Amino acid sequence: MTGAGGMLGRAVVAAATRLGHDVRGVTRAQLDITLEVAVIVTMHEYRPDAVINCAAYTDVDGAETDRETAAAANALGAGYVAAAAAEVGASVVHVSTDYVFDGSKREPWLESDPTGPLGVYGLTKLAGEHAVADANPAHAIVRTAWLYGAGGRNFVDTMLALGAQREEVSVVTDQIGCPTWTGHLAGALVEVAQRPHETGIHHIAAAGSCSWNELAVEVFERARVDCRVLPATTADFLRPARRPAYSVLGTERADPIVLAPWREGLADYLATRVAA
């Protein structure tokens, strides 16, 4: 799998290993997926049965001024990985995002809903979806949302750090999504890789939904941090990239992979932090 050094990639390697698979994970230092020849050479060296692509440019705001770098990883690189996998007869599971949608709905987005990214990050991830689908017939594109976990910058850790320093924080109430722990998503990605016949798009995120504000409240309550969470709106924070107001993911698949509710994921993540 690619992106093995990242927040999600680490969790996938751990999950696949725990489930008894022979896992070969490569970090960005070992394989830059934007280098086509390197991807081909690596794929022919390992000759996997399935590839889970967790490598990505994930800086949503940074992508607005660094479109070329974002597109190289999220679109071109994704296509290189899928094509090289096809050369050796491997299926590919590609991780995408809820940010391919414009947030205009008020009910969960389904796999067949029209896309409409609001920013460069979402545009490059959508381009990556198309590149993967075009390059490898045995593909699964997994859209997920609001990831957090060990080994990378994320909202939960940011709130815990701020809560230790401040008496109150302001968090937006007008962005709604599905906070998803990498520890739960990782196992689902491995399961998707074990279903190579189920090609196409999958929506897999924590069950239920909340605002960033509600998530912050839950983080502090569960971690017993004495910090007030004040309501704010997106307009109160000037950010380079626009975010979808409502990006809750639903599914229309007959046999979907369903994750635990987001509160359970948060509880499990906080428990692993305490254990660590």
Active site residues: 121
Q: Residue 189: phi, psi to the nearest 5?
A: -65, -40
Torsion angle in degrees (nearest 10) through CA of 225, 227, 228, 229: -80
Could you list the beta-strand ranges (E) of 109-215. Answer: 139-144, 147-148, 168-172, 176-177, 180-181, 200-203, 210-211
Q: Which two tokens stand for residue 92?
A: 């590919």
Structure tokens, 101: 């949608």
Q: For residue 83, which of 116, 113, 40 has the smallest C-alpha distance? A: 40
Q: Please name which of 105, 94, 100, 107 lies closest in space to residue 250, comparing C-alpha atoms.
A: 107
Which helix (H) or strand (E) covers residue 230, if one does? strand 228-232
CB 42 within 8 A of CB 26: yes
HEC string of 61-92 equals CHHHCCHHHHHHHHHHHHHHHHHHHHHCCCEE
**Please, are residues 180 and 260 in contact by the beta-carbon 8 Å criterion?**
no
* C-beta of residue 273 within 8 angstroms of C-beta of residue 183: no
